[in-house]
Chains A and B, each alone.
Chain A
Amino acid sequence: GAGVSQTPSNKVTEKGKYVELRCDPISGHTALYWYRQSLGQGPEFLIYFQGTGAADDSGLPNDRFFAVRPEGSVSTLKIQRTERGDSAVYLCASSQVGGGTDTQYFGPGTRLTVL
């Protein structure tokens, strides 16, 4: 079956612009996660959704970042007033329920470059 998909695969924007990154989880997965991976580093947690609600947003770095999942499936990560330091690969993952032993399946990521 289809895995987690993310669009666009690459996004180049200018400092100060607004961007939206989209994630389509595996069908039937109720839990969805966003991570950010900077060059040479491991992924860093941003936010976790259980269904439509954000169950844990403790990883969002500041109020320029927010994410939605209005129907409990597709999610959009939104970044306002982008800064050069936001450049990274943004990863989305999903899991069946969100239990502690659930496997998180990762998408290919969106590479964001802020000029």
Chain B
Amino acid sequence: GNSVTQMEGPVTLSEEAFLTINCTYTATGYPSLFWYVQYPGEGLQLLLKATKADDKGSNKGFEATYRKETTSFHLEKGSVQVSDSAVYFCAFMDTGRRALTFGSGTRLQVQP
């Protein structure tokens, strides 16, 4: 069935380190792909999205590229900050549906 697999956390990095959080998906159609972020004490927020193959979503220094051939949507940031500490969720929306399917989340801890 449809699912999202993302790397388990927590991921602990020092400030200014490079970040990659892996995400792969299994879907029946041609989904739209999303990264959501949940900062401590706050609700889920959309971080970035990509709606077709080879699209790159970007926001706040984060990037992810829709790779249809590998069914992946890995999240990257060149230099993380303490304020990036949060839980990151990969998600997709399958063709013809409006429901988001989420991964289990990856907690990122950035140390000064």
Contact = CB atoms under 8 A, between A and B. Distances in A.
Contacts of A113: none
Contacts of A56: 97-99
A108 interface: yes
Q: What is the predominant secondary structure among interface residues of chain A facing chain B? A: loop
A108 B102 CA distance: 17
Sorting the interface of chain A by its residue count into under 10, 10 to 19, 20 to 34 or 35 or more gives 20 to 34
A44 interface: yes
Contacts of A44: 102
A58 to B, nearest CB: 8
Nearest to B52: A101
Interface in B70-87: none
B98 A100 contact: yes
Nearest to A6: B43
19 contacts: A3-B43, A4-B43, A31-B98, A33-B99, A41-B105, A42-B104, A42-B105, A43-B44, A43-B89, A44-B102, A45-B99, A45-B100, A48-B99, A91-B43, A100-B51, A100-B95, A100-B98, A101-B51, A109-B43
Interface of A: 3-4, 31, 33, 35, 40-45, 48, 55-56, 58-59, 91, 93, 98, 100-101, 103-109
Interface of B: 4, 32, 36, 42-46, 49, 51, 89, 91, 93, 95, 97-105
